[in-house]
Chain A
Amino acid sequence: QKEVEQDPGPLSVPEGAIVSLNCTYSNSAFQYFMWYRQYSRKGPELLMYTYSSGNKEDGRFTAQVDKSSKYISLFIRDSQPSDSATYLCAMSSGLTGNQFYFGTGTSLTVIP
């Protein structure tokens, strides 16, 4: 079983839709949860970073962590064509000296 599971998609939505991206994990020691956005032929860009359970909101983006279910989500409201990218989840048990475990990424296309 992989440490982190993420549906690769592809996911295609109309402009303005609410997008839900999800990852599940198996290691209960994970405490730090990240979402990265990667445009084609570019390096990943950090979007959201949360510690332990709960919600975090930043503009149109909301990250949710449910440690009891080992499930994390990223919601994108009012999706825009510029949101079209691959979204990677990542998690770690700590920040110092710990490996990050990445999902395979979900490819999202927002259609104008």
Chain B
Amino acid sequence: GAVVSQHPSWVICKSGTSVKIECRSLDFQATTMFWYRQFPKQSLMLMATSNEGSKATYEQGVEKDKFLINHASLTLSTLTVTSAHPEDSSFYICSARSDRETQYFGPGTRLLVL
């Protein structure tokens, strides 16, 4: 149990375009979903926390207008990187949690902006 999927697993896009990444909890209802960013050989950096039906809470330094998060249902959250630039290239990982459970991570999405 506790499987989290992400789609796509990798994406290459041109600078200035927007990219949407989906995160789904496949066998449980996720009241809270988290979005992380990870640079090579570094640990996870929390970008934002989203609760189903509420606006996401962004960490300091993360632009909410650039990284749009929608948690429309108990099994789906999306992260949209708007007007992506090369410096947005990274590994984006979501995690999901139901009440009183720990976090379960998705497999990650590798974004490369040319």
Q: Is B28 an interface residue (CB 8 A)?
A: no
**Cross-chain pair count, CB within 8 angstroms:** 50
Q: Is the CB of A95 within 8 A of B101?
A: yes
Q: In this complex, what residue of B is CB-closest to A42?
A: B107
Q: Is the CB of B110 within 8 A of A100?
A: no
Q: Which residues of A contact B97 (CB under 8 A)?
A: 95
Q: Which residues of B contact A97 (CB under 8 A)?
A: 32
Q: Which residues of B contact A61 (CB under 8 A)?
A: none
Q: Is A18 an interface residue (CB 8 A)?
A: no
Q: 5 tightest A-B contacts by CB? A: A43-B105, A104-B43, A43-B108, A43-B107, A44-B105
Q: Is the CB of B49 within 8 A of A46?
A: no
Q: Is the CB of A46 within 8 A of B43?
A: no
How many residues of chain B have a CB within 8 Å of chain A? 26
Residues of chain B touching chain A, judged by Cβ–Cβ distance below 8 Å, are: 2, 4, 6, 32, 34, 41-44, 46, 49, 91, 93, 95, 97, 99-108, 110
Q: Which residues of B contact A90 (CB under 8 A)?
A: 103
Q: List 6 A-B contacts (CB under 8 A).
A: A36-B105, A41-B110, A43-B6, A43-B105, A88-B44, A95-B100
Contacting residues of chain A (63-101) with chain B, CB-CB under 8 angstroms: 88, 90, 95-97, 99-100
- The digit string for A1-26, where 1 denotes a CB below 8 A from any CB of B, is 00000000000000000000000000
The contact size tier of chain A is 20 to 34
Q: Other than the known A32-B102, A43-B95, A99-B49, what 17 A-B pairs have Cβ atoms closer than 8 Å?
A: A34-B103, A36-B105, A41-B110, A42-B108, A43-B6, A43-B105, A44-B44, A46-B2, A49-B102, A88-B43, A95-B97, A96-B100, A100-B46, A102-B43, A103-B43, A105-B43, A107-B41
Q: In this complex, what residue of B is CB-closest to A99?
A: B46
Q: Is the CB of B102 within 8 A of A34?
A: yes
Q: Which residues of A contact B2 (CB under 8 A)?
A: 46
